[in-house]
Amino acid sequence: VQLQASGGGLVQPGGSLRLSCAATGSIFMINNMGWYRQAPGKQRDLVATITSGGSRNYADSVKGRFTISRDNAKNTVYLQMSNLKPEDTAVYYCNADAFDSSWRRGEYWGQGTQVTVSS
């Protein structure tokens, strides 16, 4: 199972970005999917997660500004980010809890996409 993230970039404060992450490979089933972020010199932190049934969980710092969604048919998770702040600057990583076609369960990570919020 491989995760490919895209959609990062440079945006001004108050702006918006949409991140996408597609899971490919020999996938049997994907449980939770999510986004994490890591700023320079800091640990990787949870941003948002979504279950296969659509239940969402957000970090307090992004509630009301970010929305996580997923397309189960495409094995893709999205993160719509609005009203971005400089403190949102980080490398964003997608994550999936999945079973491959051999019924082996694993936790998978994308390669990370840089989000920079600056004027």
30 vs 99: CA distance, rounded Å: 6
Q: Are 101 and 1 in contact (CB under 8 A)?
A: no
pLDDT value of residue 101: 87
Q: What DSSP designation does 92 have?
A: E
17 vs 82: CA distance, rounded Å: 7
Element housing 103 (H / E):
none
89 vs 38: CA distance, rounded Å: 9
Residue the block writes with tokens 């490398």? 91
pLDDT value of residue 11: 97
Distance of CA 25 to the CA centre of its chain: 18
| Per-10-residue mean pLDDT, the chain, length 119 | 94 98 93 97 97 96 98 96 98 96 93 96
